[in-house]
Amino acid sequence: QVQLVESGGGLVQAGASLRLSCAASGGTFSTYAMGWFRQAPGQEREFVAAITRSGGPTYYADFVKGRFTISRDNAKNTVYLQLNSLKPEDTAVYYCAADQFNYIATMSPIVGADFGSWGQGTQVTVLS
């Protein structure tokens, strides 16, 4: 089972950018599709973005609207989420997750149950 550790969250003003990182260990990273989810206080966890094993097709939630970009570096066992033009409603804990069976390529919509391993999360707070 792969272990995941997120970093890069913080407190920023609206319009700013952040890059979240998720470092994986204990597994063969290139065999996992990866995803990012977020959960705001009092709300359910929601899908943000996902990327296939090779870094090929990527998938985004509609609310991303070109503001966020998911990428991965299999040589560094790391997946990234670039957050641009941040809004106060983007405030949430962001979680990285690993999909061992590449469900994201075949299942729609992409949901948390597609992922078997999760990180502890990193807080993103956007001030208006």
pLDDT band at residue 6 using 50, 70 and 90 as cut-offs: very high
Look up residue 40 and give its DSSP letter.
Answer: -
Per-residue pLDDT of 87-112, as tens digits, reads: 999 999 999 999 999 888 888 889 98
The predicted model gives 12-17 an average pLDDT of 98
Terminal alpha carbon distance of the chain: 39
DSSP per-residue codes, 60-108: E-GGGTTSEEEEEETTTTEEEEEE-S--GGG-EEEEEEEETT-GGGT-S
CA 111 from centre of chain:
12
Q: How buried is residue 96: exposed, middle or buried, by Cβ count under 10 Å (0-12/13-18/19+)?
A: buried
- Among 32-36, 41-45, 106-110, the range scoring the smallest mean pLDDT is 106-110
The predicted structure's pLDDT at residue 79: 98
Q: Say what the pLDDT of residue 103 is.
A: 87
Please write the tens of the pLDDT for every residue from 52-80.
999 989 999 999 989 999 999 999 999 99
